[in-house]
Amino acid sequence: MEKKAKIIATLGPAIYGETKLKKLVDLGVDAFRINFSHNTNGINRIVSRIRKVEKLKGKKISIIADLQGVKLRIGKLKKENQKINYEKKFIFDLKKNLGDKNRVNFPYPNIYKKIHKGSRILVDDGKFLFKVIKSKKNMLITKCKSNNCILKSNKSAHVPNLDIAFNKLTSKDKKDIKTAIKLGCNWIALSYLQNEKLIIEARRLIKKDMGIISKIENKHALKNIKKIIQATDSIMIARGDLAIDIGHSEVPKVQLSLIKRCSESSKSVIVATQMLESMIENNTATRAEINDIATAIFQGADTVMLSAEAAIGKFPTQAVSTMTQTILSTEKYKREHIEDFKNSIITSKDSVKSILLSVKNIAYNPNVKAIIVFSNSGKSAKLVSAMRPAAKIVTISPNINVCRQVSLIWGVKAINSRDANGWKDMMSISKEIIKKLKFIKKDDFVIITAGLPFGKAGMTNMIRLYKVGS
């Protein structure tokens, strides 16, 4: 049984090897994330290995370029896993030399004047708290307020109630977008955006067959969420920074609300951050973590993501296996109680969406085994996925990058094929592919949807119900 929700694994030293990448794909990974906040030396070789695995497994794999944005980060340390004792004095400053047990580089000169005595600095997704006891022009003197504080290089830092206007891509982000295009990445993830302006700017710089993921991790983004959802292709609920900004107790209801709003807009949703945090060090998950994954799937998330669990964790394969098994178990329950989980979209002013809504109801017939979607841009595949049909979704596209992009979307199996040059050719391609799909048998029904004329994006206007073998 194949899962429909997808899994992202963050690239890092723990999984760089070809054997390990292959194993993760076998266990259920559908996409790999490159974190451009960290050292990306040698990433070309890693991407080449992923594409080799993709070819070997016959499974399209998405690659996500996660841009750094203006998210605050501490600098590099002489020694990793630097222990800072409780109540110990610790300095954040502008010095570029490597940090140690007494200080670390905090390279943001414009914010020092905005931070005052009593301000809090939360490091590593809020794990460790430092309280400012004295603020200077180029130095923040703090006290560590966390037990078992272990600092690592380049970890995130958050100062609650600190307003930083971020409406333009940084020079680093622009450079990293060029790198992502050269690497053949399929998605760009925008970090710490506050409104739709970054999305519009990024759209002008990326290729047409790349998608944009907007990371929701601050109260400003929530305030402007309607315009962000309209402008983006996908949302990532980055719960670590979001929890720090709005409070941990607010995150569950925000997660549910965002998934619902994206579903209504036919935009995909990724739930991220600390999903299996304990498995960085342990080979089994906690019951709370299992429940967290299941909740995201019940709510309708397209994708769940592993961060440090995959990148630097001791048990990346066990983490992926745990996530896959939890997804499968949850989806089995959803299938058995399908009436409780049918997507609530009923009407639409969008002509393409209106056509595809007709597909949805037909697809709940148990005799319909698959929906074959011919798509040049990937839009139709995303719309069908958003409707959460019971039947499997098979997307056929002549564009390999579109195939890789939609492979991140719920329930989609992507197949790269030649473009159809007419109705008869489309049926011929469909029949060829159906023969290769083991889950489709003689006398099963398949829905075929496409746009006429062929080759024009956003033109889905045709549905056919085909009986296999007829």
Residues 6+ apart with CB under 8 A from 107: 75, 94, 96
Q: Containing H/E element for 323?
A: helix 316-336
What is the largest distance, in Å, between two alpha-carbon atoms of the chain? 79
**Confidence label for 457 from pLDDT (cuts 50, 70 and 90):** low
**Confidence label for 346 from pLDDT (cuts 50, 70 and 90):** very low
pLDDT of residue 174: 96
Q: Which is it for the CA torsion 133, 154, 276, 293, positive or negative?
A: positive
pLDDT over 70 (residue 417): yes
pLDDT over 70 (residue 130): yes
User: Within 10 A of 64 (CB to CB), how many other CB atoms are there?
Assistant: 26
351-467: in CATH 3.40.50.9100: no
What residue ranges of the chain are covered by domains with CATH 2.40.33.10? 82-158
CATH superfamily of 82-158: PK beta-barrel domain-like (2.40.33.10)
Express each pLDDT in 80-99 by its tens digit: 999 999 999 999 999 999 99
Looking at 94-183, which runs of residues are DSSP E strands? Answer: 103-105, 120-123, 128-135, 139-144, 149-151, 157-158
Closest CA to 281 of 311, 315, 307: 315
Express each pLDDT in 190-249 by its tens digit: 998 999 999 999 999 999 999 999 999 989 999 999 999 999 999 999 998 899 889 899
pLDDT over 90 (residue 357): no
CB 308 within 8 A of CB 8: no
Mean pLDDT in residue range 51-71: 94
* pTM as predicted: 0.86
**Confidence label for 355 from pLDDT (cuts 50, 70 and 90):** low
What does the block give as tokens for 368? 């319909």
What does the block give as tokens for 327? 């997804």
What does the block give as tokens for 32? 């790999």
What residue ranges of the chain are covered by domains with CATH 3.20.20.60? 6-69+167-336
pLDDT over 90 (residue 448): no
Classify 253 as helix, strand or coil: helix
pLDDT over 70 (residue 338): no
What residue ranges of the chain are covered by domains with CATH 3.40.1380.20? 351-467
Q: How far apart are CA 394 and CA 32, in angstroms?
A: 21
Main-chain phi, psi angles of 312, to 5 degrees: -130, 5
Mean pLDDT in residue range 446-465: 68
pLDDT of residue 98: 96
- Which class is 6-69+167-336 in CATH? alpha beta
CB 450 within 8 A of CB 426: yes
Average pLDDT of the chain to the nearest whole number: 89
End-to-end CA distance of the chain: 27
Side chain identity at residue 108, one-letter code: Y
Q: How far apart are CA 210 and CA 220, in angstroms?
A: 25
